Amino acid sequence: KRLVLIGPPGSGKGTQSPIIKDEYCLCHLATGDMLRAAVAAKTPLGIKAKEAMDKGELVSDDLVVGIIDEAVKKPSCQKGFILDGFPRTVVQAEKLDNMLEKQGTKIDKVLNFAIDDSILEERITGRWIHPSSGRSYHTKFAPPKVPGVDDVTGEPLIQRKDDTAEVLKSRLEAFHKQTEPVIGYYAKKGIIAQLHAEKAPKDVTAEVQTALS
């Protein structure tokens, strides 16, 4: 399967992805995670992306299309993939279609993590992540066994620099202006599945399974 996950910050894309990935043996391609790794490693890509990310704005289409173009060609992604956080503009969606057309494939399903903006601040400001694995926790909704520590590795958890109420406002603005039109783009193709992303994680997982069955 070749899947796209669309939804605002904190809607649960990163929480559901590992579950879908394991169930269908797909590779999980999260542009946000890849960009954060590039920023941490101070690569040329990271240096270019950092300023926009810190402000909660989108990184340029060319930069993200470049990373996805490389990633979808990897042998490990030939059986299928989950795109988490990409495409986020109509230009990115069109470039993705062209890329896949050259490989003789296409997107099978787009999961729309629909949710009201008012719920997202609590989710975003309570999130803690384990940077090297991408695992995320929430102080109230998904607490780690030991506060501030990853359950699996025992390594420290951190908060994302853009996970503040202030930066969230810009991220939501970018979502409504630039990413919502992408939902219309895929709706025309008839491949959108609507999720009720405000539900509890396990209920969202059940909706995902129904959408993909």
The residues of the shown chain that bind ligand AP5, judged by CB under 6 A, are: 7, 9-15, 31-32, 35, 52-53, 56-59, 64, 85-86, 88, 92, 123, 126-127, 136-138, 141-142, 171, 200-201, 204
Is 8 among the residues that bind Zn ion (CB under 5 A)? no
For tokens 């109420």, name the residue.
Answer: 165
Interacting partner of 59 out of ligand AP5, Zn ion, none (Cβ under 5 to 8 A depending on kind): ligand AP5
Picking from 121, 112, 156, the residue whose alpha carbon sits closest to that of residue 140 is 121
Strand, coil or helix: 89: coil
Packing angle, helices 44-55 and 31-40, rounded to 10: 110
Residue of minimal Cβ distance to ligand AP5: 32
Q: Which segments of 1-58 are extended strands (E)?
A: 2-6, 27-30
Q: Minimum CB separation from Zn ion for residue 117, in Å?
A: 16
Q: Minimum CB separation from ligand AP5 for residue 61, in Å?
A: 7
Catalytic residue among 50, 88, 95, 135: 88
Size of the residue set binding Zn ion (CB under 5 A): 1
Burial-class residue 104 by CB neighbours within 10 Å (0-12, 13-18, 19+): exposed
Is 127 known to be catalytic?
Answer: yes
Residue of minimal Cβ distance to Zn ion: 14
Cβ–Cβ < 8 Å for 68, 83: yes
C-alpha dist (Å) from residue 102 to 27, 72, 78, 176, 209: 20, 12, 14, 30, 29
Nearby residues of 34 by Cβ (< 8 Å), 6 or more positions away: 67, 71
Is 2 known to be catalytic?
Answer: no
Is 14 among the residues that bind Zn ion (CB under 5 A)? yes
Q: Minimum CB separation from ligand AP5 for residue 59, in Å?
A: 4
Q: Which is nearer to ligand AP5, 164 or 191 (CB)?
A: 164
Q: Which is nearer to ligand AP5, 75 or 140 (CB)?
A: 140
Interacting partner of 52 out of Zn ion, ligand AP5, none (Cβ under 5 to 8 A depending on kind): ligand AP5
**Catalytic residue positions?**
13, 88, 127, 160, 171
